[in-house]
Amino acid sequence: MPTTAPAVVAPRLERLGPSLLHVRRAGPTTAIGLVLRTGAEVDPPLASFTLELLARGRDRAVEDALGEYGGAIEVVWLADGALLQVEVEASAWREALGLLTAAVRSAALTGEDVEALRRERLAALQRRDGDPAARGLHLLQRRLAPSLDPLGEARRAASWSIEHVRKAQEQWLRAARPALVVVGEAPRAELARAAASALGEWPGPAAARTLAPESDAQEGRLVLPVPRREVLVVPRPGLAQTAILVGRTIPGDADALALELASAVVGSALREVLRRDRGDTYSVAVSHAPARRGGLLAIETQVEAAATGASLRAMFSQLKSAQGRFLTGDLLRLLGRAFQVERMLGQQRLSAVVEGVARLHVAGRPDDALAAELRRLGGVRDDDVESALSKWFAPEAMQVVLVGDPGTIRAQVEPLGLGPLQVIDDAR
């Protein structure tokens, strides 16, 4: 890990009207993002499928047009919203902005466009479900935080038609006016005029929706479920390894930086025990996917099938020992510097800035939240991290998902007392 951190240069975000956020950044390219918010009525897999279709355009016309300006369009699912973004030559920002906003309003898609993307989506689902760890993470998402899953199930994707897509498109158009995020050197006055023109014809409500926190019922905010004392098993008879996924839901107002640092501490402890001391695995990943209506904290590893029970016992023992563990200031400063370096390097990519601004916008956070977060990277306190460890990594609050041979798993896991084993029908 690095011992010194670069100076924090936080992006200065300026709001040039109710639906335009601008970060001035000199360079040969400009990045533009169209930020669409989602509500509880939006189905994530169909919504992401529809947006990808709209981003391509009929017979890939939108992709080809943006390619003429040196850019490739990308759809990023944000759980609380979605982002269509493109990075193009700096001189082409007006054309790119117009193409991006017009893409969502386009009604020229055909059944052939739907079929082409559906084939690709089904292939992606097959690849995911063929990977034990990815299949386990999908089940964890489906059980705890379904809004985080933009792929969905193969059976549903196979049934979508052009009518489904048009209905989903109407949902986007009926929503409040989206926001535009622009990172580049476009002149402010020209940018404001172009954005007003592009969004002024939006069919939905003209007034931007207030992004202040609303009630759970209005916003569809996820109410954290009471932990279910059961172990979910996705059957893979004869599999030589077992994928272990352990996770829980995290509310959108959790201290994200403290949680990220706590995740690094847990990940380091688990790697030391499961990989170095026991030799059960090559890797352990601890991740946190944030979302306003509830994010997901997940621990992921794969072990030899014969070590499933012992590895799971060692994992839960480490989680228990992390409760109230005292952390030295030196360790936290070292972790803080590492994260600061990583984030500062990330801020060199325009797409990362666009996504960061989009996330704070859909989460209803203040415009200066991203800059404040970057400035705080190296200054998270010991007690903040210790609180995150005790609050979010309690073993009794974790849902366990195992992907492997049920016969091998059952004999090893049932004696651990984690709850009854429930084998999930893999065809569902």
Give the model's pLDDT for residue 24.
Answer: 92
Report pLDDT digits (tens) over 215-237: 343 444 444 555 567 999 999 99
Q: What is the mean pLDDT of residues 158-172?
A: 91
Counting residues of the chain whose pLDDT is more than 70, the rounded percentage is 89
- Give the number of other Cβ atoms within 10 Å of residue 396's Cβ: 10
β-partners of residue 421 are 231
Secondary structure of the chain as H, E, C letters? CCCCCCCCCCCCEEECCCCEEEEECCCCEEEEEEEEECCCCCCHHHHHHHHHHHHHCHHHHHHHHHHCCCCCCEEEECCCEEEEEEEEEHHHHHHHHHHHHHHHHCCCCCHHHHHHHHHHHHHHHHHHHHCHHHHHHHHHHHHHCHHHCCCCCHHHHCCCCHHHHHHHHHHHHHCCCCEEEEEECCCHHHHHHHHHHHHHCCCCCCCCCCCCCCCHHHHCCCCCCCCCCCEEEEECCCCCEEEEEEEEEECCCCCHHHHHHHHHHHHHHHHHHHHHHCCCCCCEEEEEECCCCCEEEEEEEEEEHHHHHHHHHHHHHHHHHCCCCCCCHHHHHHHHHHHHHHHHHHCCCHHHHHHHHHHHHHCCCCCCHHHHHHHHHHHCCHHHHHHHHHHHCCHHHCEEEEEECHHHHHHHHHHHCCCCEEECCCCC
- Residue 333, pLDDT > 90, answer no
**330 Cβ neighbours under 8 A, 6+ residues apart:** none
Q: Tokens for 227?
A: 């932990």
Rounded to 10°, the helix 256-270/329-346 angle is 110
Counting residues of the chain whose pLDDT is more than 90, the rounded percentage is 54
- Residue 2, pLDDT > 60, answer no
- Residue 427, pLDDT > 60, answer no
Give the model's pLDDT for residue 340.
Answer: 73
β-partners of residue 30 are 88
Q: How far apart are CA 404 and CA 234, in angstroms?
A: 6
Question: Nearest-CA neighbor of 318 among 246, 401, 225, 240?
Answer: 246
**In terms of pLDDT, which residue wins out, 133 or 3?**
133
pLDDT band at 205 (very low <50, low <70, confident <90, very high): low
- Residue 388, pLDDT > 60, answer yes
- Residue 7, pLDDT > 80, answer no
**97 Cβ neighbours under 8 A, 6+ residues apart:** 32, 180, 182, 194, 195, 198
Kindly report which listed range (95-109, 192-206, 391-405) carries the lowest average pLDDT score. Answer: 192-206
**121 Cβ neighbours under 8 A, 6+ residues apart:** 49, 151, 157
**116 Cβ neighbours under 8 A, 6+ residues apart:** none
Q: What is the mean pLDDT of residues 398-406?
A: 96
- Residue 77, pLDDT > 70, answer yes
Report pLDDT digits (tens) over 129-139: 999 999 999 99
Q: What is the mean pLDDT of residues 389-397?
A: 91
Q: Tokens for 36?
A: 């669409």
Question: The whole model's pTM is what?
Answer: 0.86
Q: What is the mean pLDDT of residues 404-420?
A: 94
pLDDT band at 75 (very low <50, low <70, confident <90, very high): very high
- Residue 54, pLDDT > 90, answer yes
Q: What is the mean pLDDT of residues 47-75?
A: 93
- Residue 61, pLDDT > 80, answer yes
- Give the number of other Cβ atoms within 10 Å of residue 122's Cβ: 13
Give the phi and the psi of residue 177 in degrees, each rounded to 5: -55, 135
Give the model's pLDDT for residue 214.
Answer: 40
- Residue 283, pLDDT > 60, answer yes
**Mean per-residue pLDDT of the chain:** 86
Q: Tokens for 34?
A: 């169209």
- Residue 26, pLDDT > 60, answer yes
**271 close to 232: Cβ distance less than 8 angstroms:** no
- Give the number of other Cβ atoms within 10 Å of residue 351's Cβ: 17
Give the model's pLDDT for residue 212.
Answer: 41
Give the model's pLDDT for residue 80.
Answer: 85
pLDDT band at 369 (very low <50, low <70, confident <90, very high): confident
Report pLDDT digits (tens) over 346-361: 778 899 999 999 988 8
